[in-house]
Amino acid sequence: MMKNILFLLATLFALPLTAQTDDGVAYFRQSDSQVADSVNVATDIVDSLATLTVDTLPFPQNICQRLDTLIAVSRLLQTSQLGLMVYDLTADSVIYCHNHRQTMRPASTEKLVTAIAAIDRLGGAYQLRTSLYYTGTIANRTLTGSLYCVGGMDPAFGHDDLKSFVESLQRLGVDTLRGDIVADCSMKDGDLLGEGWCWDDDNPVLSPLLISQKDNFVERFTQALRDEGIVLSLSPAAPATRLPANATLVCTRTHTIDQILSRMMKDSDNLYAESMFYQLAASGGTRPAKASHARQHIQKLIQKVGLQPGDYKIADGSGLSLYNYLTPELHVRLLRYAYRNANVLEHLLPSLPIAGEDGTLKNRMKGTAAAGNVRAKTGTVTCVSCLAGYCTAANGHDLCFAIMNQGVLRVSDGRAFQDRVCNSLCAPNGVKLSTLIAPPKPIAKPAPVKKSAKASKSAKKKASKSTKKAAKKRKR
């Protein structure tokens, strides 16, 4: 048995620790399935690894050692595919690669691409706007003309914003409207669904004029006016049209890019991501904005980070599309770009879920070195599970990583593998392999406080007395 263990370790660690790639970057370990394909790991060997430590090598070779072992012993990878890349941001060098240039479906880690591109292009001071204008005249508290609701595809526009529209109109002295309520949806094209979205999925509606994430703005606004006592004498339903040049502004409601990013990334909200995608599309001034315009800006960013846009497929901004194809390398290049540009990182980093604390990572990695450390975007669609983001190694080096699991029939298995990878990146030297390979033990809940027999009898007597008093009162 011991000979088998030694043979496994010799196979894992006899591979060269550095390699030179065609892009001239020095890699500490170029795995690319060599270990997983060459070693057939039996169950008893996995069990025996639990007694071994992984602190025999310095950083970053110890990270390579851990990840090689995880990949070698993973039963998940016998029936599914993995793309993995880890980058040392402090040392500005690649630590680990495994199928890092394989194109795979990103699911919601596509939102990382959208977020970084949007922050880089629009800036941190950018705001999403929804505005109310009027045309015509106001006389004797009556507006004779039209109200124009101009959509900017703000998914955060809600009840309070609509109330501000009504109050602003009242401050003009208007209590009667004779004319139209018009929706200006010219900000984007008429496509209400994204390219490659599944017909049976829970898809958001891509309307530029939204209230509470629904496409019923004019109806809600009309009802809100009536609820506040404004008399409406409306023409037959006016067709959606563009705002005329002579219109007068009544009110504008805005939400910051940070407000949108927080829900988009921490909660993985698809509508918020698509809204950001179309803000990017509209940033060039073209109306109506189209998905193809957003792709052009993302392609320019891909070129900026040193990769070829033609090697990837960008279909939407949220990752709902089955047509998206990215690589771990692209994720890492973009994360590195954001890290090196403070104006991007200061908006991206606070939006990412924190392991064991909030967002889509709230219940993951608890009780491990990764908890409170890893900040990363999750990605999940059927048979796809991905994770990409940042963490800090035990020696203080900042890392970024991308993990893409494909063909995973149980998404929970992919997440468990990703959690172990993250723990391997964050754990200090001297930990046992069992703590990296096995799932973390659940944090024990405090035992309920037991009441003494006397306290229990006293509580029963008090309850009995209060019941008797209540009964007397009812009789009275």
Closest-CA residue to 388 (of 428, 342, 339): 339
The residue assigned the tokens 């060599």 is 34
Task: Classify burial at 398, counting beta carbons within 10 Å of its beta carbon; exposed 0-12, middle 13-18, buried 19 or more.
Answer: middle
Q: How far is CA 307 from CA 282, 330, 342, in A?
A: 24, 8, 21
Residue 53: band (very low, low, confident or very high) from pLDDT cuts 50, 70, 90: low
What rounded mean pLDDT belongs to the chain? 86
pLDDT tens string 206-219: 999 999 999 999 99
Q: Label residue 450 by pLDDT band (50, 70, 90).
A: low
The mean per-residue pLDDT over the stretch 403-418 comes to 97
Q: How confident is the model at residue 431 (pLDDT cuts 50, 70, 90)?
A: confident
Report the relative pairing of strands 26-30 and 93-98 from DSSP bridges.
parallel
Percent of the chain topping pLDDT 70: 79
Q: Average pLDDT for residues 291-296, to the nearest whole number?
A: 97
Whether pLDDT at 180 is above 90: yes
Q: In the chain, what are the helix, strand and coil shares in percent, each to the nearest 5?
A: 40, 20, 40
CA 255/CA 127 separation, integer angstroms = 5
Token reading at 448: 């309920």
Per the CB < 8 A criterion, the answer to whether 383 and 407 are in contact is: yes
Say which amino acid occupies 66. Answer: R
Q: Say how many Å lie between the first and final Cα of the chain, rounded.
A: 84
pLDDT band at 382 (very low <50, low <70, confident <90, very high): very high
- Is there a contact between 327 and 102 (Cβ–Cβ < 8 Å)? yes
Residue 265: CA count within 13 A, CB half-sphere: 26
Q: Is the predicted pLDDT of residue 368 greater than 70, yes or no?
A: yes
pLDDT more than 90, % of the chain: 75
pLDDT value at 320 more than 80: yes
Report pLDDT digits (tens) over 141-157. 999 999 999 999 999 99
Is 60 exceeded by the pLDDT of residue 10?
no
- For residues 183-203, give the mean pLDDT: 94
**64 vs 468, residue with greater confidence:** 64
Residue type, 309: P
Domains of the chain: 1-84 (no CATH), 127-262 (3.50.80.20)
Residue 474: pLDDT over 60: no
**Angle (nearest 5°) at CA 118 between 116 and 120:** 65
Token readout for 51 is 């007694």
- Give the integer Cα–Cα distance in Å for 459 and 452: 11
Structure tokens at 297: 């800006």
Span of 136-140, 233-237, 304-308, 330-334 with lowest mean pLDDT: 233-237
Distance CA 414, CA 77 (A): 10
Distances (CA, A) of 466 to 70, 457, 458, 470: 62, 14, 13, 6
Query: What is the maximum alpha-carbon separation in the chain?
Result: 97
**pLDDT value at 341 more than 90:** yes
Higher-confidence position of 58 and 163? 163
For residue 166, pLDDT beyond 50: yes
- The tokens describing 47, both together, are 């069990």
Cβ proximity of 213 and 220 under 8 Å: no
